[in-house]
């Protein structure tokens, strides 16, 4: 008997779980369908299966769905195994050796980025992107790179109004500004940041995506803005892109 290819269904289920993980609380099925561009009937069917397997909890009084204990167990296993950290550290070290600038890996958690690894180049100043530090994703090159890889509906769900845009003493950002920045990021293939986190320092970053195009981490380089001209920044961005592709190959294969 010939069976259909399960890959689209698996992809949709993973997108549902990823979307739910980025929310502040349980969400309605209609919200999932609308935000992810999936048929409502498919969403209900997948939610039923995910609930049966323990990855999703149904709150009937609220008519909403949240992550279940099986999703927590997966995340705990991920923390124990640290695949991004283990595979990313040598790639990051090679990049720093080749370009002579400091670099780091980060992941997107809700509206923030969390830094997993930092590799400081010799004779370069310490950065705020130490391991475990959280920063607003829309202000960092790492965050912008990963946000640019997300569906537009997901970005909008993360930043529904002005209160979602945390700032660090600079001007308040808007969704229109963020959308424009993400469009530019996708067009050039890498994200930039100049002085939004630390005055005098700039960064370039590239997202590392899985086989479905979902961002799992980002690789970024930070440097003193005044001593790095545009030509050199382009060179750094290309080096980051190459090493991000190498990390993607290590994580997901050719």
In a domain, 245, yes or no: yes
Q: pLDDT digits over 133-161, tens only?
A: 889 999 999 999 999 999 888 898 889 88
Residues 112 and 234 in one domain: yes
Q: pLDDT digits over 97-122, tens only?
A: 999 999 999 998 888 898 988 888 88
Residues 100 and 122 in one domain: yes
Residues 185 and 231 in one domain: yes
Most confident of 73-77, 168-172, 190-194, 223-227: 190-194
Please identify, among 27, 42, 74, the residue that sits at the C-terminal boundary of a domain: 74
Residues 137 and 55 in one domain: no
Residues 68 and 103 in one domain: no
Label each residue of the chain as H, E or C: CCCCCCHHHHHHHHHHHHHHHCCCCCECHHHHHHHHCCCHHHHHHHHHHHHHCCCEEEECCCCEEEECHHHHHHHHHHHHHCHHHHHHHHHHHHHHHHHCCEEEEEEEECCEEEEEEEECCCCCCCCCCCCCCEEEHHHCHHHHHHHHCCCHHHHHHHCCCHHHCCCCCCCCCCHHHHHHHHHHHHHHCCEEEECCCCCCEEEEEEEEECCCCCEEEEEEEEEEHHHCCHHHHHHHHHHHHHHHHHHHHHHHCC
Mean pLDDT of the chain: 87
Predicted local confidence at residue 1, as pLDDT? 37
What average pLDDT score do residues 127-134 get? 75
Residues 25 and 122 in one domain: no
At 49, which CATH number? Answer: 1.10.10.10
Residues 55 and 98 in one domain: no
At 126, which CATH number? Answer: 3.30.450.40
Please give the share of the chain, as a percent, with pLDDT higher than 70.
89
Full domain range(s) for residue 133: 82-252
- 199 or 190: whose pLDDT is higher? 190
Total domains present in the chain? 2
pTM for the model stands at 0.70
Q: pLDDT digits over 199-221, tens only?
A: 899 999 999 998 878 898 999 99
In a domain, 2, yes or no: no
């Amino acid at each position: 008997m010939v069976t259909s290819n399960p890959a689209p269904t698996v992809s949709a289920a993973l997108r549902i779980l990823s979307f739910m993980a980025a929310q502040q609380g349980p969400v309605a099925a209609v919200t999932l369908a609308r935000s992810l561009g999936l048929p409502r009937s498919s969403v209900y069917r997948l939610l039923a299966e995910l609930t049966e397997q323990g990855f999703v909890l149904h709150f009937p009084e609220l008519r909403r769905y949240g992550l279940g204990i099986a999703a927590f167990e997966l995340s705990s296993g991920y923390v124990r195994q640290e695949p991004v950290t283990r595979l990313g550290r040598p790639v990051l070290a090679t990049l720093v050796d080749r370009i002579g600038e400091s670099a780091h890996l980060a992941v997107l958690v809700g509206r923030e980025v969390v830094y997993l690894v930092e590799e400081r180049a010799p004779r370069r100043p310490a950065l705020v992107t130490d391991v475990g530090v959280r920063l607003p994703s829309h202000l960092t090159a790492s965050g912008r790179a990963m946000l640019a890889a997300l569906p537009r509906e997901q970005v909008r769900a993360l930043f529904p109004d002005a209160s979602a845009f945390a700032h660090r003493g600079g001007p308040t950002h808007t969704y229109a500004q963020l959308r424009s920045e993400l469009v530019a990021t996708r067009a050039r293939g890498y994200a930039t940041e100049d002085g939004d986190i630390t005055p005098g320092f700039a960064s370039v970053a590239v997202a590392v995506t899985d086989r479905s195009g979902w961002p799992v981490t980002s690789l970024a380089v930070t440097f003193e803005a005044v001593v790095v001209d545009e030509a050199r920044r382009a060179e750094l961005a290309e080096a980051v892109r190459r090493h991000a592709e190498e990390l993607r190959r290590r994580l997901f294969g050719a």
